[in-house]
Chains A and B, each alone.
Chain A
Amino acid sequence: RKEVEQDPGPFNVPEGATVAFNCTYSNSASQSFFWYRQDCRKEPKLLMSVYSSGNEDGRFTAQLNRASQYISLLIRDSKLSDSATYLCVVRTSYTGTASKLTFGTGTRLQVTL
């Protein structure tokens, strides 16, 4: 089983739609969670961290469910510029070594007119 799993998509949605992505992780000891955005052939960039209580940044809402070991990203009022691949990232600490970031393979979103 992969440490971090995402539906690869693509999710094709019209402008203005609401879309949600889920991501599951296998290590219950994982401590921190993030969503990164990656545009085609570009580098990943941090979109938002995911906090236990859930957090919102404009049209984006991230939630964490530790019991079920999944995180979600909700995008409201989708814009053409939201078209990208969204990477789920999990940080886990291991005894005696530095923390490890594990990246999911990403979920591709295509927003259309």
Chain B
Amino acid sequence: DAGITQSPRYKITETGRQVTLMCHQTWSHSYMFWYRQDLGHGLRLIYYSAAADITDKGEVPDGYVVSRSKTENFPLTLESATRSQTSVYFCASAENYNEQFFGPGTRLTVL
């Protein structure tokens, strides 16, 4: 089915470990985004990509790395996880900068 998927849906890891969250979309949307959602903060943009091989920082990029070698995939890596990175992570895609379509989210807990 067409859409946007994220994996894993739930992840528990330990401080200092590297974690990669996967995002895959089947619409061939140009734009892809990574957000984190925390109580009291709303959705905050971590990184975005306007096309394959083009990425840029959002509001809270520190501690995260992204890549976009293929249009459909946009993985997010936490290089050395910290407790403050415990959050719900949403990937989104869009053909333009108006309507964004969100994936189901990944709940990450860093112990």
- Number of chain B residues whose Cβ lies closer than 8 Å to a Cβ of chain A: 19
- Number of chain A residues whose Cβ lies closer than 8 Å to a Cβ of chain B: 21
B residues near A87, Cβ cutoff 8 Å: 42-43
Set B40, B45, B50, B102: member contacting A100, Cβ < 8 A: B45
Asked if residues A42 and B45 are in contact (CB atoms below 8 Å), the reply is no
Q: Contact flags (1/0) for B74-111 with A, using CB distance below 8 Å? A: 00000000000000001000000111101111000000
Given contacts A32-B98, A49-B98, A99-B97, contact A105 B90 (CB under 8 A): no
Q: Contact flags (1/0) for A45-60 with B, using CB distance below 8 Å? A: 1100100000000000
Set A42, A43, A46, A97: member contacting B56, Cβ < 8 A: A97
B residues near A49, Cβ cutoff 8 Å: 98-99
Q: Contact flags (1/0) for A26-50 with B, using CB distance below 8 Å? A: 0000001010000001111110010
Given contacts A105-B42, A106-B42, contact A45 B56 (CB under 8 A): no
Given contacts A97-B56, A98-B48, contact A44 B43 (CB under 8 A): yes
B residues near A41, Cβ cutoff 8 Å: 105
B residues near A43, Cβ cutoff 8 Å: 90, 102-105
Set B42, B97, B99, B102: member contacting A104, Cβ < 8 A: B42
- Asked if A91 lies at the interface with its beta carbon under 8 angstroms from chain B, I say yes
Q: Give the interface of A toward B (CB within 8 A).
A: 4, 32, 34, 41-46, 49, 87, 91, 97-101, 103-106
List the 5 closest A-B pairs by CB distance, nearest first. A43-B102, A103-B43, A105-B42, A99-B97, A103-B42
29 contacts between A and B (CB under 8 A): A4-B42, A32-B97, A32-B98, A34-B98, A34-B99, A43-B102, A43-B103, A43-B104, A43-B105, A44-B43, A44-B90, A46-B99, A46-B100, A49-B98, A49-B99, A87-B43, A91-B98, A97-B56, A98-B48, A98-B50, A98-B56, A98-B97, A99-B97, A101-B45, A101-B100, A103-B42, A103-B43, A105-B40, A105-B42
